[in-house]
């Protein structure tokens, strides 16, 4: 744990959050659930490792069964289902056709509310994927093992593209559409892609954005760095009409919708690939340096997301499942595309901003489509709450199951989600995991475990986490202290490495707690997640956030989330973000940025209430140096609050870094002004 600011060197963080009362899963949910075995964690204990992972792989259709379940001879590089062969697009489409040909695979909800929702059946998906795969193979020359960068928004053509590449055994690298051309270029270069697949435009908050222009800049930048993109494929948001003001570049760009008619009726046999062939790269930023290309496998990854989608998301083929994340993130790969489609569910893809044109939009979508499983992030939940909630009670939908993912959820926000969005009827899972992990690592098993607001809960069956202190000692449960969460065992969804950088893989995730770099025993290679966490006496893990989100005030470690959670107990507070501001006396002190719910006045009394709540909930040590009441917090397009920018402002650092990926870049200047006015 980095500790430049204070004097404490131990990993332990004192945690002030109180223990919350349990919520019991509704009977009606338990009665229909996929996983009700109360002994599941016993069956999936370390003594039975790795054999229980056969259950995961058995959910898939294999062309050839594996010879060896796990090859752990070279830790921390593991090989799962060695000798097995399969194809991902076959598993997500072809194998469902006999039973579910006419069932909707994808519901596409365009952002403009006057455009019809599109329903793509499994048969239609099969036709589209085959024709596009034929085009990629026969016209563009894409082959097994090629890396192809995709920079596309939330449209059904995105999973079609991913599945067509998977059908050919090519490796996709999807870049979040909200990312800049520069970010896209960096990923093109690192993955050595010679093909870029994009779209002319898409809707965001009521505007049809020009997306194609980013492709031109990305290709120029990539070529300046030595990676030439030979072909740019452009999907049309409105088939038959080119919707971008940016011209096409002759000799390089092809409009997919113009090319496809030549491939009508073409079929491509799924390429049977070894289980260990990479399926995709997903770039994620580390705390320093260039983004890391997390490399995910075919067999292990698909087994893991399919099992967790079935048992933790409780997806049945007749469910309508909506995950509001973006496919450009790992959540979207695992839990919009691959998991739900492998289970023959209907998955919803929503193009735009959840609160567009108003906060009632998600509930109108849920009502129209009969969504019964809903999946989103604490940030979206807070944003919806801030926008007034959108009156879920006015809409006739019923969720049996809701997920939260991506950051710790404050107990107050959890309870709002449960009561207002879930109408008190839905079970909730708080799922903790990372881009590197492929799928969930901690969560309640929804029909088996009670829920505890603010806690991710026990491990996913088969995952064996532990909390280690700075010296690598295992910290016992129930001490009220937090340390570093690590995973003891390898699992099939775990990434295979960082693309082209095995040393960085070992150094970032394993070196910290490996005592013998020569050891060939996986037990000597705990996976270091980089999150602070605490294990309660009941076996529930509470995640405090990235270790670098911990603030050290006068030698006292505080999790930023704890302070934010305290601020959210004040009526009228919508969102809160805590940053460390340098202080001459205490090293650093917390400053808190707060946005208010509509109609709540921003005044000194409100700021004092927030400050008092933090001091009361956590202790006077945590009292913020300053409470800044601001119109909105700077957020990425995926909804993550950019604490880094706020920290720059609090520390009078004029360099707020790259703000091009923000959903609301104008906020930065506004907040700077508020800060200057003091
Ligand atoms: C980081 C990973 C997991 C896919 C989306 C984010 C934080 C994630 C939780 C949770 C508390 C959480 C951690 C983790 N995080 N889920 N349920 N409770 N914190 O993927 O961008 O790789 O971020 O998100 O800090 O390390 P990511």
Nearest residue (CA) to ligand 1, atom 24: 406
Instruction: Judge if the beta carbon of residue 305 lies within 6 A of ligand 1.
Output: no
Residue ranges, the chain, pLDDT below 70: 1-17, 285-289, 548-550, 552, 554-557
What is the CA 368 to chain-centroid distance, rounded? Answer: 26
Atom of ligand 1 at shortest range from CA of 330: 4
d(CA 330, CA 435): 5
Instruction: Judge if the beta carbon of residue 284 lies within 6 A of ligand 1.
Output: yes
Instruction: Judge if the beta carbon of residue 454 lies within 6 A of ligand 1.
Output: no
Atom of ligand 1 at shortest range from CA of 530: 26
Instruction: Judge if the beta carbon of residue 531 lies within 6 A of ligand 1.
Output: yes
Q: Enumerate the β-bridge partners of residue 86.
A: 273
SS3 657: coil
| The predicted structure's pLDDT at residue 619 | 73
Q: By CB neighbour count within 10 A (0-12 exposed, 13-18 middle, 19+ buried), where does 9 fall? A: exposed
CA of residue 281 to ligand 1 center, whole Å: 18
| The predicted structure's pLDDT at residue 294 | 96
- Kindly report the pTM of this predicted structure: 0.88
Instruction: Judge if the beta carbon of residue 533 lies within 6 A of ligand 1.
Output: no
Nearest residue (CA) to ligand 1, atom 10: 432
Instruction: Judge if the beta carbon of residue 545 lies within 6 A of ligand 1.
Output: yes
| The predicted structure's pLDDT at residue 636 | 82
d(CA 193, CA 180): 17
Instruction: Judge if the beta carbon of residue 407 lies within 6 A of ligand 1.
Output: yes
d(CA 69, CA 652): 55
DSSP labels for 247-307?
PPPTTTEEEHHHHGGGGTT---PPP-EETTSEEEEEEE--SSSSPEEEEEESHHHHHHHHH
Q: Tally the C-alpha atoms within 13 A of residue 570's C-alpha that lie toward its C-beta.
A: 28
User: b or e along 353-362 (b: 16 or more beta carbons within 10 Å of the residue's beta carbon)?
Assistant: bbbbeebbbb
CA of residue 638 to ligand 1 center, whole Å: 13
Instruction: Judge if the beta carbon of residue 376 lies within 6 A of ligand 1.
Output: no
Instruction: Judge if the beta carbon of residue 432 lies within 6 A of ligand 1.
Output: yes
Instruction: Judge if the beta carbon of residue 316 lies within 6 A of ligand 1.
Output: no
CA of residue 529 to ligand 1 center, whole Å: 10
Q: How many residues can be counted in the chain?
A: 678
Instruction: Judge if the beta carbon of residue 435 lies within 6 A of ligand 1.
Output: yes
CA of residue 434 to ligand 1 center, whole Å: 5
d(CA 236, CA 36): 45
Region of residue 32 (left: phi > 0; alpha: psi -120 to 50; beta: else) = alpha
**Contacts for 210 with CB less than 8 Å, ≥ 6 apart:** 200, 201, 244, 245, 246
d(CA 554, CA 243): 56
Instruction: Judge if the beta carbon of residue 198 lies within 6 A of ligand 1.
Output: no
| The predicted structure's pLDDT at residue 7 | 30
Out of 312, 434, 444, mutate this one to test ligand 1's pocket (max ligand atoms within 8 Å of CB): namely: 434
d(CA 369, CA 363): 10
Q: Enumerate the β-bridge partners of residue 578.
A: 592
Q: Is the peptide bond before 357 cis (omega within 30 degrees of 0)?
A: yes
CA of residue 531 to ligand 1 center, whole Å: 9
**Contacts for 375 with CB less than 8 Å, ≥ 6 apart:** 313, 321, 322, 323, 324, 325, 331, 335, 402, 403, 405
Atom of ligand 1 at shortest range from CA of 431: 17
Main-chain phi, psi angles of 64, to 5 degrees: -145, 130
CA of residue 406 to ligand 1 center, whole Å: 4
Instruction: Judge if the beta carbon of residue 380 lies within 6 A of ligand 1.
Output: no
> Both tokens of residue 552?
């050290």
Q: By CB neighbour count within 10 A (0-12 exposed, 13-18 middle, 19+ buried), where does 387 fall? A: middle
CA of residue 433 to ligand 1 center, whole Å: 5
| The predicted structure's pLDDT at residue 14 | 58
N- to C-terminal Cα distance for the chain? 33
């Amino acid at each position: 744990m980095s500790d430049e600011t204070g004097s404490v060197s131990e990993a332990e963080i004192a945690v002030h959050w109180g223990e919350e009362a349990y919520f019991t899963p509704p009977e009606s949910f338990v009665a229909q659930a996929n996983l009700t075995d109360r002994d599941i964690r016993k069956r999936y204990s370390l003594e039975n490792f790795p054999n229980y992972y056969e259950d995961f792989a058995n959910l898939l259709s294999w062309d050839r069964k594996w010879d060896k379940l796990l090859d752990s001879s070279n830790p921390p590089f593991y090989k799962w289902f060695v000798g097995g062969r399969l194809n991902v697009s076959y598993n997500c489409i072809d194998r469902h056709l006999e039973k579910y040909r006419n069932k909707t695979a994808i519901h596409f909800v365009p952002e403009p509310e006057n455009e019809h929702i599109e329903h793509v059946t499994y048969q239609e998906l099969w036709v589209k994927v085959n024709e596009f795969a034929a085009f990629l193979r026969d016209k563009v020359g894409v082959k097994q093992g090629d890396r192809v960068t995709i920079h596309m928004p939330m449209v059904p053509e995105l999973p079609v593209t991913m599945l067509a590449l998977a059908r050919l055994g090519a490796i996709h690298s999807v870049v979040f559409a909200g990312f800049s051309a520069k970010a896209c270029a960096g990923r093109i270069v690192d993955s050595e892609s010679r093909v870029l697949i994009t779209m002319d435009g898409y809707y965001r908050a009521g505007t049809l954005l020009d997306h194609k222009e980013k492709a031109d800049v990305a290709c120029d930048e990539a070529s300046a760095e030595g990676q030439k993109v030979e072909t740019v494929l452009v999907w049309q948001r409105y088939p038959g009409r080119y919707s971008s003001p940016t011209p096409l570049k002759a000799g390089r760009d092809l409009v997919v919708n113009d090319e496809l008619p030549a491939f009508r009726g073409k079929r491509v046999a799924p390429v049977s690939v070894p289980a260990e062939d990479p399926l995709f790269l997903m770039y994620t930023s580390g705390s320093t340096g260039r983004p890391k290309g997390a490399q995910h496998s075919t067999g292990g990854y698909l087994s893991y997301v399919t099992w967790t989608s079935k048992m933790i998301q409780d997806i049945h083929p007749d469910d309508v499942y909506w995950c509001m994340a973006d496919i450009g993130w790992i959540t979207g790969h695992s839990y919009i595309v691959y998991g739900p489609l492998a289970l023959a569910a209907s998955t919803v893809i929503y193009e735009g901003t959840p609160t567009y044109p108003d906060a009632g939009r998600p509930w109108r979508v849920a009502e129209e489509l009969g969504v019964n499983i809903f999946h989103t992030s604490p940030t979206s939940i807070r944003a919806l709450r801030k926008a007034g909630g959108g009156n879920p009670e006015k809409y006739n939908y019923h969720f049996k199951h809701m997920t939260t993912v991506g950051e710790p959820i404050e107990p107050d926000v959890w309870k709002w989600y449960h009561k207002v969005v879930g109408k008190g009827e839905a079970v909730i899972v708080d799922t903790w995991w990372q881009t590197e992990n492929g799928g969930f690592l901690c969560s309640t098993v929804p029909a088996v475990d009670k829920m505890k607001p603010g806690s991710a809960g026990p491990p996913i069956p088969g995952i064996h986490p532990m909390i280690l202190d700075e010296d690598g000692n295992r910290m016992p449960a129930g001490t009220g202290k937090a340390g570093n969460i690590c995973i003891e065992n390898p699992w099939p969804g775990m990434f295979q490495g960082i693309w082209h950088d095995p040393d960085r893989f070992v150094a970032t995730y394993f070196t910290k707690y490996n005592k013998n770099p020569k050891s060939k025993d996986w037990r000597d290679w705990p996976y270091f997640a980089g999150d602070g966490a605490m294990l309660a006496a009941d076996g529930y893990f509470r995640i405090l956030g990235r270790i670098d989100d911990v603030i050290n005030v006068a030698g006292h470690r505080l999790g930023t989330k704890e302070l934010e959670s305290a601020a959210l107990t004040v009526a009228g507070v919508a969102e809160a973000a805590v940053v460390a501001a340098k202080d001459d006396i205490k090293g650093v002190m917390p400053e808190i940025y707060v946005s208010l719910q509509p109609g709540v006045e921003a005044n000194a009394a409100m700021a004092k209430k927030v400050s008092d709540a933090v001091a009361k909930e956590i202790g006077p040590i945590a009292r913020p140096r300053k409470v800044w009441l601001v119109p909105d917090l700077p957020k990425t397009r995926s909804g993550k609050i950019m604490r880094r920018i706020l920290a720059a402002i609090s520390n009078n650092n004029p360099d707020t870094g790259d703000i091009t990926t923000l959903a609301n870049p104008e906020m930065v200047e506004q907040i700077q002004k508020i800060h200057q006015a003091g």
